[in-house]
A = this chain, B = another copy of it.
Amino acid sequence: MSNISIIGTGNMARTIGARALAGGNTVEVMGRDQSKAADLAEALGDGATTGEWGTAPAGDIVIVALLYDGVVPAVARYGDALAGKVIVDISNPFNPTFDGLAHREQTSIAQEVAKVAPAGAGVVKAFNTVFRHVLEKGRPDVFIAGDDARAKARVEAFVESLGLRPLDVGGLGMAHWLEGAGVLTVGLANHGVGNLDFALGVTELPA
């Protein structure tokens, strides 16, 4: 069981919140608009609570569920309130045509988050290759990248509580390639698969 705080009140916040509660975790919702956070917490039910934007989250794992360009500013705004927390970046910084990343440098939102996160916080990239729709009703693989082994282990336990398989791809620098996998996922939806009812994952060889 994990204590989860979600920064954000949009569709992805709702989906992760619902799935987290179904998996037996606690959920706190934090929104810049406090009334939207309260509405989401009420809609989620099951003991979900509301926290105040910018203050120390109740959860040990803080999932930032904002549009990609809001993620780094939000983490910077929270500042030391995130000390000791596991910060999870789930964002996809797509370019305007959805066939590349918004940053051309070899970085990622997760790596930029790590630059502004307080000492003692562990940053993990996860969930970005999964369409919200699929997270809602499917059992997709969840790729994870991070430099902090303890933070990754916590996120893995959380992912497992959702009935999903966490797959560690390596250090936080791999978040760049996970963001690229997000680009591939959109490319597959537009070309190779032709719908949104799928996820990238790992298929093991029959023994």
Q: Is the CB of B205 within 8 A of A202?
A: no
Bound-state CA distance A144–B144 (Å) is 24
Bound-state CA distance A204–B180 (Å) is 20
| A27 on the B face (CB < 8 A) | no
| A99 on the B face (CB < 8 A) | yes
Bound-state CA distance A181–B185 (Å) is 11
The contact size tier of chain A is 35 or more
Bound-state CA distance A203–B199 (Å) is 5
Q: Is the CB of B140 within 8 A of A168?
A: no
Q: Is the CB of B198 within 8 A of A199?
A: no
Residues of B near A206 (CB, < 8 A) are 138
Residues of B near A203 (CB, < 8 A) are 140-141, 198-201, 203
Residues of B near A168 (CB, < 8 A) are 187-188, 191-192
Q: Is the CB of A169 within 8 A of B188?
A: yes
| A143 on the B face (CB < 8 A) | yes
Q: Is the CB of B99 within 8 A of A106?
A: no
| A79 on the B face (CB < 8 A) | no
Q: Which residue of B lies closest to A104 (CB)?
A: B106
| A190 on the B face (CB < 8 A) | yes
Q: A180-B177, A181-B181, A187-B169 are in contact. Are A192 and B144 (CB under 8 A)?
A: yes
Q: Mark A75-95, 1 if CB is under 8 A from B, else 0.
A: 000000000000000000000
> Which 4 residue pairs across A and B have the least CB separation, nearest first?
A167-B192, A169-B187, A170-B187, A180-B180
